[in-house]
Chain A
């Protein structure tokens, strides 16, 4: 018997980037061992902001529409599932088309996996892993009434605008009371803000200048202060 599904809410402003959700996500039985939630640093040069991203379970899922193998299915609860294993051919169309950058394609397994809102747990009446472990309530699973009572200064919306494309989702996102839809105006957003790569390049130059990084080998020098950083920035160094 499938338990009734509740609503999922994301409150981006509450994310502290602790990655507890990432660790919890990997416990989900439908994709054991590999986390499907993404936590990205947005502009590490200027802000500590992090953004958790899980499947928004679009009402008309772009991933399913662009799947040539017809492998991505939405169930009667509005949950969009990982690719059907006999069909998925790991072409990566879903990965490239998802407006939220969610699906993960494993080329070796020839299979796309994504957040299915912890179907093993939610179908049994439990909360998804990420919502269970999130210490700040950035990820919340419950009823609309609960959410409205808990966060009277924000409101949940499920409409996103990517340029001219309107996307309605099953998952809600918490916004200020006067906002009606999440607008992602990327041509504007691309202007002037440093990306992680620009930032990493700057860091690298600075470390080289200050003698933390050997300019020849690009290896960190002994007694440096960057050795234990396993940050997103460091990945680019």
Chain B
């Protein structure tokens, strides 16, 4: 008992109060949205309760981690700058701001061309996983939260299902029709995207010696194994009901549920957090666009522009916040980060030469 109290005390010390507050608010909001969206749990599918609690936990963890991450001085700086520049009147001339956003979203979030430049194979693997996961999430979460459910429609002349969104009937699907096939097989399609994607990623991790050298089980392999487990056990369910008359279905459903719950719980801790972190990089697009036409900072050594002036200034503030002091002797001197990287290396050479009094022994 005494130990437990001590652990709780230690945890209280370690946890960030502000982030706990935001995470709690977010979790409560999601819970409220589930209750309201499922019409006071009337449409809630109690078979999915495990998924629901795992989602609430994931929401708590994700918001907590995001908030802690945002409290890091450089992150906070870019976060504020991103929003500030997004709404800056200068960038709204000729609607430049929405154009920057549209381009950045297309390139960074949708197409992910930067991964293509890292390697086309890598891009293909990641793209398959990303599309599969987005599709699966778009289907699963509304069902889990009771926001979407199906009801039996007419029986004669053809059987139909009625799709209810937030309790309102929005569409009647012919069960034998193409539209219903797609709607009811969405998760299977997602598996057929995720599994080849995971295979490509696993293959790369086996044969790429650089990746093999630096990868870690928990960081790099576990998320792939989890995604594979979710997709594969999901497919087993389909095989069971489609080809084996539901053989072993309930046990398989349990197995699938546990893989999904495990992945949801893992979401805030591991590599998959980048799904939520990555969109913040849109702020960098604004930062770059806003500084593209401005005079860059000049290096006192190479006498050339090397970085946006705004960035070297921001960096000075961030370094000070982090208790680094790379300032010059007087205010007139440039700070060390106001010398270009090449200039810094040259000056280190000069410092060495000075230390050896210009002679080498």
Given contacts A40-B345, A176-B356, A184-B348, contact A163 B284 (CB under 8 A): no
Chain A residue nearest in CB terms to B209: A29
List of B residues within 8 angstroms of A123 by Cβ: 213
The answer, yes or no, to whether A135 is at the interface (CB within 8 Å) is: no
B324 pairs with A165, CB closer than 8 A: yes
B117 pairs with A185, CB closer than 8 A: no
A96 pairs with B307, CB closer than 8 A: yes
List of B residues within 8 angstroms of A176 by Cβ: 355-356, 361
| Interchain nearest-CB distance for A38 vs B (Å) | 6
Determine, out of B32-40, B67-75, B177-185, B224-232, the stretch whose residues face the partner at the interface.
B67-75
B303 pairs with A195, CB closer than 8 A: yes
Choose from B209, B274, B348 the contact partner of A51 (Cβ within 8 Å): B348
A202 to B342 alpha-carbon distance, docked (Å): 20
List of B residues within 8 angstroms of A163 by Cβ: 325-329, 336
The answer, yes or no, to whether B343 is at the interface (CB within 8 Å) is: yes
A96 pairs with B337, CB closer than 8 A: yes
The DSSP consensus for interface residues of chain B is helix
The answer, yes or no, to whether A218 is at the interface (CB within 8 Å) is: no
A38 to B340 alpha-carbon distance, docked (Å): 14
Given contacts A97-B315, A111-B118, contact A29 B213 (CB under 8 A): yes
Chain B residue nearest in CB terms to A197: B303
The answer, yes or no, to whether A130 is at the interface (CB within 8 Å) is: no
Interface string of A117-130 (1 = CB under 8 A from B): 00110011000000
Choose from A93, A108, A162 the contact partner of B336 (Cβ within 8 Å): A162
The answer, yes or no, to whether B3 is at the interface (CB within 8 Å) is: no
A108 to B114 alpha-carbon distance, docked (Å): 6
Query: How many chain B residues have a CB neighbour from A under 8 Å?
Result: 69
A96 pairs with B311, CB closer than 8 A: yes
The answer, yes or no, to whether B300 is at the interface (CB within 8 Å) is: yes
List of B residues within 8 angstroms of A53 by Cβ: 345, 348
List of A residues within 8 angstroms of B358 by Cβ: 47
B69 pairs with A101, CB closer than 8 A: no
B213 pairs with A197, CB closer than 8 A: no
B356 pairs with A68, CB closer than 8 A: no
B230-287 interface (Cβ within 8 A of A):
271, 274, 277-278, 280-281, 284, 287
Given contacts A85-B118, A92-B311, contact A29 B341 (CB under 8 A): no
A47 pairs with B353, CB closer than 8 A: yes
Given contacts A12-B349, A29-B208, A30-B210, contact A40 B318 (CB under 8 A): no
Given contacts A176-B356, A197-B302, contact A86 B278 (CB under 8 A): yes
Nearest 5 A/B pairs, CB to CB:
A101-B341, A51-B349, A42-B349, A29-B210, A120-B213
